[in-house]
Amino acid sequence: MPTRKQRRRRQKDRRHEYEFVYVDEEGEEVDVDEDERPARGQNGKRDSKQPQKRRAASGPVREVKPPSWSKVGKRALIFFPLIFLAFSFVTVVYTAFFVPFMYVMDRTMYRSYLKRTGQLPQRQPRKR
C-alpha cells in the first residue's frame, strides 16, 4: 500500500504533461512521432506483448566442460595453501589477542575470589 506522500506524488506526475524530445546532431530539438515513443502500460512498465531487445553478443558462447573430480582436485591443490595460510594467520592473530585476555580474566577471577574469602593476595618477592 503506497503512503500518502507516494500517492500525492503519483497524482502530481499524472497531472503534468511531458513531451518526448530528441536532440539531433546539430543540437536542435526534434519532436517525436507517436509510434516512436516508448510503449508503456498503465503502471509505467513496458508492455509485455513487445519482446525486449537482447544485448548483442560480444562473441561466440564459451564452451562449458562437464564437471570432473580431477579438475576439482587440481583447483583444490591451488587453493589449499592459500586458505591454510589465511586461516593460520587469523589463528595467530586471535591467539595473540586471546592469551593476554585469558590472563586478565584469570587475574580478575582470582582477585574477586580473594575479596570474597577475605584473604590477602600473596606477594612474590621481586627479582632484581
Mean pLDDT, the chain, whole residue set:
80
pLDDT score, position 36: 60
- Residue 100: pLDDT over 80: yes
pLDDT score, position 37: 57
Triad 121, 122, 127: Cα angle to 5°: 130
pLDDT score, position 44: 57
Does the model's pTM come out above 0.75? no
> Mean pLDDT across the stretch 87-92?
90
pLDDT band at 109; cut points 50, 70, 90 = very high
Residue 99 C-alpha cell reads as 592469551
DSSP state of 43: T
